[in-house]
Amino acid sequence: MNTATKPEAIKDASMLKQKEMIARNYDALTGAPESGKKIVSTFVPGNLNELINSFGLLNNLPEINAINNGMRKQSGAMIMDAERSGHSEDVCTYVKADIGMMSKGNIAPNGKVMPPPNLLLLSYTGCFTFMKWFELLRKEYNCDTVMLQVPYTGDGVITDNMRNFVVKQLKEEVIPALEKTSGVKFDIDRLRENMARSAKAEDDLVWVLESAKNVRSPIDAYFGGVYYIGPIFTAFRGTQDAIEYYQLLRGEIEKRMQDGLGPVTPEGDMGEEKYRLVVEGPPNWTSFREFWKMFYDEGAVVVASTYTKVGGVYDEGFRHDPTNPLESLADYCLGCYTNRNMPSRVDLIEKYMNEYQADGLLINSIKSCNSFSAGQLMMMNEIEKRTGKPGAFIETDLVDPRYFSAANVKNRLESYFQMVDQKRRSTRTA
């Protein structure tokens, strides 16, 4: 292995910037008791970061903590703890990792204790589990809770009734709760400023994701993609940091394109691009590196993924709009990927298959997540029917290591790549 393949050699400026942002955010969260800052716990899809920030509140996302614990191989024990205390083996492992983390002292990734939240903001977009998750947390923390119900777009459209309902809840439930927690009066201009910053960062994010339309994609839009969406999906949307991060990232990718390079992997620049895939479903976090390696070792690049739309679908034109801040926040929540109905999800994947010139669709079906998983087999069949390209189905879990069988996944992927090869050969001869 030459030096260029060592992980240290591939730390781009954007990566360092993101690392520093995350560390700073965890320090702010764990330092809240000293700084006097207040913490709002909320969820990634449909999060109201611009609004939360406009009150000077900190944003803690339990899914991100679960992901962190998954990547650091600590979630397995946390999940088992939660199951021992009566939580079913059948339910979402994010919930159990979160509850298990509490029973292990609520230690944040920086090694310090995560203080309890001052407010649970249940922005319930695209998943029913959120609702009961926060009821469980409310019992543990005994703190204020406010709920934002985001209607499901069952007919594939956002109606006025849905939008008005969300806006009304923002005005009459969420904002008063944030005012109470923060002691700060709502300032719509501050919100507008945050949203304008969001839109700027979103422009660059879309540019980055769409760079994968190039044949010889400069990015991996799934394994790399989860890093690229980090700031915009979490505590940084609406901040200057996010703008700077995406500018840096865009610059780096522009450079990769000029140099004719493929995606960055943990082992350096990726070799030849042999397969272009669209991936549906979240990744597995407990064996993330091992999982990724199974792709880049085979020359498989993910050119588009639906998981990178779970915290907002921006590539269809949506931007946070400072001129209509509350309506725009409502549209953002309503439009997140898992809040879209099945036909819309299939249409989006079909579009990706065509626009990104993909060789096939791979579904990583997650045991934990009915929101994503229920219906995926039908989605695969629909896509195969519509595009004539082969689909493949693998099953893993988010943060429960018991459900990642490396040998099975690898076998499945290898036969899938053979299938893609065969399909190509038959298309060429036809």
Partner 1 sequence: MSTAEIIARCEELYEDTTFAASRAWKEAVPGRKVVGFMPVYIPEEIIHAAGMLPLGILGGGDNLEVIHGDAFYQSYICRIPRSTIELGLTGRLDFVDGMLFPSICDVIRNLSGMWKLMKPGVYAKYFDVPQNYRDDIGGTYYQNEMQELRHDMEKLSGNTITDEALNNSIAIYNQHRQLVRDVYAMRSAEPWKVPSSEVYLVMRAGQVLPVEEHIVMLNEYLAAVVKEDKPIRDKCRIITCGSFCEQPPLNLIKSIEMAGCYVVDDDYMLVNRWLMEEVPTDGDPIKSLADAFLHHSADSSAKYCDTQEKVGQYLLDSVIKNKAEGVIFAAPSFCDPALLERPLLSAKMSENNVPHISFKYAENSGQMQPIREQAGTFADSIKLWS
Using CB under 6 A, list all residues that contact ligand SF4.
Answer: 92, 94, 127, 129-130, 338, 368-369, 371-372, 398
Under 8 Å between Cβ of 302 and 322: no
| Closer residue to ligand SF4 in complex, CB, 4/131 | 131
Distance (Å, whole) CA 309 – CA 225: 10
Distance (Å, whole) CA 184 – CA 368: 38
DSSP single-letter state for residue 283: P
Q: Is 91 in the site for partner 1 (CB under 8 A)?
A: yes
Q: Is 10 in the site for partner 1 (CB under 8 A)?
A: no
Q: Is 138 in the site for partner 1 (CB under 8 A)?
A: yes
Q: Is 80 in the site for partner 1 (CB under 8 A)?
A: no
Contacted by 132, from ligand SF4, partner 1, none: CB < 5 to 8 Å by type: partner 1
Residue 67's alpha-carbon distances to 64, 185, 188, 285, 311, in angstroms, are 5, 34, 33, 6, 15
Q: Which residue(s) pair with 144 in the sheet?
A: 119
Distance (Å, whole) CA 302 – CA 361: 9
Concatenated DSSP letters of 74-142: -HHHHHHHHHHTT--TTS-HHHHHHHHHHHTT-B-TTSSBPPPPSEEEEEE-S-SHHHHHHHHHHHHH-
Using DSSP's 3-state secondary structure scheme, residue 222 falls into: coil
Q: Which of 37, 165, 193, 227 binds partner 1 (CB under 8 A)?
A: 165
Tokens of residue 382, six digits:
């629909």
Q: Which stretch binds partner 1 (CB under 8 A): 11-19, 164-172, 276-284, 329-337?
A: 164-172
- Let me know if 37 is exposed, middle or buried by CB neighbors in 10 A (0-12, 13-18, 19+): middle
| Min dist. Cβ of residue 13 to partner 1 (A) | 39
Q: Is 426 in the site for partner 1 (CB under 8 A)?
A: no
- The residues in 334-373 that bind partner 1, with binding defined as CB under 8 A, are 341-346, 365, 367, 370-371, 373
Distance (Å, whole) CA 399 – CA 339: 22
| Closer residue to ligand SF4 in complex, CB, 366/409 | 366
Q: Is 396 in the site for partner 1 (CB under 8 A)?
A: no
Contacted by 189, from partner 1, ligand SF4, none: CB < 5 to 8 Å by type: none
Using DSSP's 3-state secondary structure scheme, residue 153 falls into: strand
Distance (Å, whole) CA 333 – CA 88: 29
Distance (Å, whole) CA 18 – CA 340: 29
| Min dist. Cβ of residue 76 to ligand SF4 (A) | 16
Q: Which stretch binds partner 1 (CB under 8 A): 109-117, 146-154, 224-232, 415-423?
A: 146-154
Contacted by 345, from ligand SF4, partner 1, none: CB < 5 to 8 Å by type: partner 1
Q: Is 157 in the site for partner 1 (CB under 8 A)?
A: no
For binding to partner 1 (CB under 8 A), which residues are involved? 85-88, 90-92, 95, 122, 124, 127-129, 131-133, 135-136, 138-139, 142, 145, 147, 149, 151-152, 154-155, 159, 161-162, 164-165, 168-169, 172-173, 341-346, 365, 367, 370-371, 373-378, 382, 395
